[in-house]
């Protein structure tokens, strides 16, 4: 046992301190030679010099002796590896230009891959922060594969009462409302939830208790759960918050529990307060708007839950048929995780594709550089082969060098990946859970694995050349092997591959940029200049009836129009250009109804004051605008946009038509009184269909306030807030955002996608250019003599330039052709993210190809000019 430990200790010593052992070996060797020569002098009477000479001769080669001893130490392969690493490091530091550029190029590729891995891991692969998250579902109303919407009280209560498939179901009504804890009311994100919501997610509170079914009773005191952040902000600590009072929408709620900071959002819905949702007694099937989740009971499959929900849908339909005639609507469960990920997989898969291509280009680039270096070192390798290095030893040397290079790049790449992920999180909005991404050990191991594989791939090319040609070829010392056609062709293939891989990334970037440019040029139908917007919410406890709301809102708007510079002030329940479906309503035309039981058409249906159209510069085209005669007691009236009128009444006037709103057959028919210009509420680029009701026929809140006015000194927002606050100190206002800003941010997601892709495309383009530049520069150096001879024989400089550029362009051309076909194949990935641009748009494909070839031309031009500048006399001088 101890001898085993001794041996291990000796080997470690041998490895850590080979020099000391070698010194000891030398001392022992000298002792041997001394003793032998002494013996020779004594026994044979030789002169000391002669004795020494014989003794040394008898001893044999010193190196052989040392090597044999190292073998006995059993660390030969390790010490050789170490020697290779040190040697490679020396070689790499001796050519800093190659090393730095290769490490940088690879590190960029690896860093981008690492950042993307972390993002994909957090968004698409990782679990939700709830136990057994695959058991969690979200339930929608759905009447066709593409049309699903939120649930109603009727739906929720039916499921809660009848289900056997779920161990818990919960509902939330997310939104924003005024919240105060002693001080001023602030507009904060809030979500009313049922007790089942926390139970289904199985989230525990940090302090206090969760909500209970008893809390949902209308007679029970109003209670709420709040976030740790709000508790700390308002009350100092979570435990101090329990039992305190928070006023939510004007109503005092007692804090009964505090959610831990890790659950600042629940099921991807963010809110500061989670007050209990009181049990309602529904009078009709709608309105919808409930966000409902459930936890599947143990052993229940999604399919059986779907069947049970289907049965419930069929059972509740007849009871509420008078107000809801969509017979096809079914309660339908979806995995909660997949509903949260939603569309995020589309931009992410684009990023991943682009990053993979950029990484491949980086590896091709460095591999192609490595071949050049390999050829430059042909003589050194030949010498080593002659001195007895085996083929395997040389291959190992090549691989060691490239792996050393790529692993250094990998380490730098991890740092770049960390930075890249931060940038991605700061820059890209609207991808759920991206903020949770971080660079963990797995990401680091992915980075290093990618680095290792890249290194092996890069070293494999020269190594394979060595294996196929063999060390014998090296020993012949023929340069021809190293400079052979095959090697050049191999490099050319790499360069062509770089162009082929770069083109799809460039095409994607160009198409997305073109698409965003078109989106930004889209006419939203209104004039967004000089319009400030904000949300105003009144405490519902104080403003419970129509007249109190009407009084306050009218007073505020008339005071606002008195402010200097303000030309008009208006209210709307919907915010253009992207209202996110918050004001959708279904309707049925009285003169051309849909078949009984069929789904009715839906449209964005904002409720506004008549000033809304003036403030946003939307013209009245036909009929009349809302006026003082349109009151709560009058016939319900609407104005419609031109697109809506054209859609439903293509060849007849729309004014005077009647429709049934919201499936309410018992209500009086709604009459169309006017047609206005198109304006979009369903994202830029969508058709501008909308129907507007007047607020004078029923006030609601919160409302969006639009103030059109000159804001040259930037004080308008403050002055507007002062007016609202002086009208009612309890009114809660959101931050002020200009309408221009809202239009800008409504295309933020496609713009971010386009900029990301364009960045990758820039990197790809740069690498491809460097690749072709390197190839041709080397070719010029290699063919210096040949070019000199041709010029001496009368070749014109222009011919030399032409042949060099022609050579470069051939590879670029082949690569571009390959890239074009790749782009067409990959186009369907892209088509969903484009607006009014075809994924195989010939103009874009042509322009990008031409641009790529143009860059190739420039990159070829410089080495070609260098070739033309060769002095024939100088070039033909013997080496």
Partner 1 sequence: MADRADLLQGTLDLLILKSLALGPLHGWGVSKRLRQLSEDVLDVGQGSLYPALYRLEDRGLVTSEWGTSPEGRKAKFYRLTAAGRKQFAREQSQWRTFTGAVNLILAATQEPA
Site for partner 1, rule CB under 8 A: 3, 6-7, 10, 24-25, 27-29, 31-32, 34-36, 38-39, 58-60, 64-65, 68-69, 71-74
Tokens of 104: 């940088």
CB nearer to partner 1: pick between 32 and 647: 32
Measured distance CA(861)–CA(706) in Å, rounded: 58
Measured distance CA(334)–CA(401) in Å, rounded: 52
DSSP string of 122-149, one letter each residue: IIIISPPSSTTGGGEEEEEEEEETTEEE
Closest distance between partner 1 and the C-beta of residue 79, in Å? 15
CB nearer to partner 1: pick between 73 and 148: 73
Closest distance between partner 1 and the C-beta of residue 71, in Å? 7
Closest distance between partner 1 and the C-beta of residue 21, in Å? 10
Tokens of 736: 């002020």
CB nearer to partner 1: pick between 42 and 529: 42
CB nearer to partner 1: pick between 10 and 725: 10
Closest distance between partner 1 and the C-beta of residue 78, in Å? 15
Measured distance CA(845)–CA(504) in Å, rounded: 9
CB nearer to partner 1: pick between 59 and 288: 59
| β-sheet bridge partners, residue 177 | 188
Tokens of 111: 């860093």
CB nearer to partner 1: pick between 26 and 541: 26
CB nearer to partner 1: pick between 61 and 298: 61
CB nearer to partner 1: pick between 38 and 561: 38
Tokens of 434: 């991206």
CA angle 44, 47, 49 (to 5 degrees): 125
Closest distance between partner 1 and the C-beta of residue 43, in Å? 10
CB nearer to partner 1: pick between 76 and 379: 76
Closest distance between partner 1 and the C-beta of residue 84, in Å? 24
CA nearest 255: which of 267, 240, 233?
Answer: 240
Measured distance CA(426)–CA(118) in Å, rounded: 15
CB nearer to partner 1: pick between 10 and 784: 10
Closest distance between partner 1 and the C-beta of residue 361, in Å? 51
Strand pairing category for 607-608 and 691-694 = parallel
| β-sheet bridge partners, residue 406 | none
Residue 650 backbone dihedrals phi, psi, to 5 degrees: -60, -35
Measured distance CA(125)–CA(352) in Å, rounded: 14
CA nearest 583: which of 605, 607, 608?
Answer: 605
Measured distance CA(212)–CA(276) in Å, rounded: 9
List CB contacts of 87: < 8 A, sequence separation 6 or more: 397
Closest distance between partner 1 and the C-beta of residue 349, in Å? 58
CB nearer to partner 1: pick between 36 and 686: 36
Buried b (16+ CB within 10 A) or exposed e, 673-686: bbbbbbbbbbbbbe
CA dihedral 130, 131, 133, 134 (to 10 degrees): 180
Q: Cα Rg for the chain, rounded, in angstroms?
A: 38
Question: 3-class SS at 837?
Answer: coil
Number of residues that this document lists for the chain: 879
Closest distance between partner 1 and the C-beta of residue 822, in Å? 59
- Cα distances (angstroms) measured from residue 160 to each of 128, 154, 155, 194: 24, 10, 9, 11
CB nearer to partner 1: pick between 35 and 81: 35
Closest distance between partner 1 and the C-beta of residue 61, in Å? 8
Measured distance CA(616)–CA(259) in Å, rounded: 42
List CB contacts of 596: < 8 A, sequence separation 6 or more: 325
CB nearer to partner 1: pick between 65 and 288: 65
Closest distance between partner 1 and the C-beta of residue 469, in Å? 34
Closest distance between partner 1 and the C-beta of residue 2, in Å? 8
Closest distance between partner 1 and the C-beta of residue 4, in Å? 8
Classify 578 in phi/psi space as left (phi over 0), alpha (psi -120 to 50) or beta: beta
CA nearest 686: which of 819, 798, 579, 845?
Answer: 579
CB nearer to partner 1: pick between 61 and 596: 61
Closest distance between partner 1 and the C-beta of residue 53, in Å? 16
Measured distance CA(391)–CA(472) in Å, rounded: 9
């Amino acid at each position: 046992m101890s001898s085993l430990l001794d041996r291990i200790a000796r080997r470690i010593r041998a490895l850590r301190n080979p020099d000391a052992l070698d010194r000891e070996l030398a001392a022992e060797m000298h002792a041997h030679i001394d003793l032998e020569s002494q013996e020779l002098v004594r026994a044979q009477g030789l002169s000391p010099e002669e004795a020494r000479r014989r003794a040394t001769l008898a001893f044999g080669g010193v190196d052989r002796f040392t090597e044999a001893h190292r073998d006995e130490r059993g660390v030969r392969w390790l010490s050789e590896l170490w020697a290779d690493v040190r040697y490679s490091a020396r070689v790499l530091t001796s050519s800093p230009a190659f090393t730095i550029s290769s490490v940088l190029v690879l590190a960029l590729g690896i860093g981008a891959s690492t950042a993307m891995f972390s993002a994909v891991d957090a968004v698409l692969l990782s679990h939700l922060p709830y136990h057994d998250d695959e058991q969690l579902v979200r339930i929608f109303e759905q009447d066709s594969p593409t049309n699903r919407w939120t649930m109603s009280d009727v739906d929720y209560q039916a499921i809660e009462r009848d289900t056997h498939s779920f161990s818990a179901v919960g509902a939330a009504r997310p939104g924003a409302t005024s919240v105060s804890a002693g001080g001023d009311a602030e507009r904060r994100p809030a979500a009313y939830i049922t007790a089942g919501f926390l139970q289904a997610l199985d989230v525990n509170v940090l302090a206090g208790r969760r909500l209970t079914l008893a809390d949902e009773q209308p007679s029970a005191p109003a209670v709420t759960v709040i976030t740790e952040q709000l508790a700390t902000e308002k009350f100092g600590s979570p435990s101090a918050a329990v039992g305190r009072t928070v006023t939510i929408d004007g109503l005092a709620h007692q804090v009964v529990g505090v959610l831990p900071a890790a659950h600042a959002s629940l099921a991807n819905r963010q809110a500061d307060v989670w007050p209990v949702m009181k049990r309602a007694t529904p009078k009709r099937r709608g309105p919808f708007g409930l966000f409902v989740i459930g936890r599947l009971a143990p052993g229940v499959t999604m399919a059986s839950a779907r069947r049970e929900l289907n049965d419930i849908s069929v059972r509740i339909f007849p009871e509420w048929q008078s107000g809801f005639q969509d017979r096809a609507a079914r309660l339908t469960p979806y995995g909660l995780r997949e509903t949260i990920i939603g569309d995020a997989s589309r931009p992410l898969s684009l990023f991943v594709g682009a990053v993979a291509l950029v990484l491949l280009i980086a590896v091709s680039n460095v591999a192609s550089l490595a071949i050049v270096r390999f050829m430059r070192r042909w003589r050194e390798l030949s010498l080593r082969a002659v001195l007895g290095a085996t083929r395997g030893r040389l291959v190992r040397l090549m691989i060691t060098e490239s792996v050393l290079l790529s692993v250094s790049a990998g380490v730098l790449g991890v740092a770049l990946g960390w930075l890249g992920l931060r940038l991605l999180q700061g820059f890209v909005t609207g991808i759920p859970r991206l903020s949770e991404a971080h660079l963990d050990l797995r990401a680091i191991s992915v980075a290093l694995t990618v680095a290792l594989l890249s290194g092996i791939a890069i070293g494999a090319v020269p190594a394979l050349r060595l294996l196929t040609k063999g060390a014998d070829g090296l020993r012949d010392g023929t340069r021809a092997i190293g400079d052979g056609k095959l090697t050049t062709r191999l490099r050319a293939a790499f360069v062509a591959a770089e162009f082929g891989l770069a083109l799809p990334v460039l095409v994607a970037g160009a198409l997305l940029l073109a698409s965003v440019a078109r989106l930004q040029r889209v006419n939203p139908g209104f004039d967004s200049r000089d319009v400030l917007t904000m949300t105003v919410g009144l405490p519902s406890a104080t403003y419970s009836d129509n007249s109190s709301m009407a009084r306050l809102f009218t007073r505020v708007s008339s005071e606002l129009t008195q402010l200097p510079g303000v030309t008009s002030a208006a209210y709307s329940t919907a915010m253009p250009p992207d209202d996110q479906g918050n004001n959708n309503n279904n309707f049925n035309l009285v003169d051309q109804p849909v078949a009984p039981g069929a789904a009715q058409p839906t449209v964005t249906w904002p409720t506004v004051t008549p000033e809304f159209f003036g403030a946003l510069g939307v013209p009245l085209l036909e009929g009349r605008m809302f006026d003082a005669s349109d009151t709560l007691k009058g016939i319900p009236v609407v104005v419609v946009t031109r697109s809506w009128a054209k859609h439903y009444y293509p060849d007849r006037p729309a004014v005077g038509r009647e429709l049934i709103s919201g499936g309410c057959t018992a209500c009086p028919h709604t009459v169309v009184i006017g047609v206005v210009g198109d304006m979009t509420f369903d994202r830029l680029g969508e058709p501008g269909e909308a129907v507007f009701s007047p607020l004078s026929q029923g006030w609601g809140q919160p409302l969006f306030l639009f103030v059109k006015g000159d804001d040259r000194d930037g004080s308008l927002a403050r002055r507007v807030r002062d007016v609202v606050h002086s009208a009612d100190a309890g009114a809660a206002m959101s931050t002020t955002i200009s309408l221009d800003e809202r239009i800008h941010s409504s295309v933020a997601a496609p713009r971010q996608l386009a900029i990301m892709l364009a960045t990758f495309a820039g990197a790809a383009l740069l690498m491809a250019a460097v690749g072709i530049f390197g190839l041709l520069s080397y070719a010029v150096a290699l063919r210096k003599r040949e070019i000199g001879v041709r010029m001496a024989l009368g070749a014109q400089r222009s011919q030399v330039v032409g042949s060099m550029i022609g050579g470069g362009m051939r590879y670029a051309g082949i690569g571009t052709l390959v890239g074009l076909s790749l782009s067409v194949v990959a186009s369907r990935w892209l088509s969903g993210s484009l607006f009014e641009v075809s994924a195989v748009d010939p103009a874009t494909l042509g322009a990008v190809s031409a641009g790529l070839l143009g860059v190739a031309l420039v990159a070829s031009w410089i080495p070609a000019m260098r070739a033309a500048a060769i002095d024939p006399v100088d070039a033909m001088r013997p080496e």
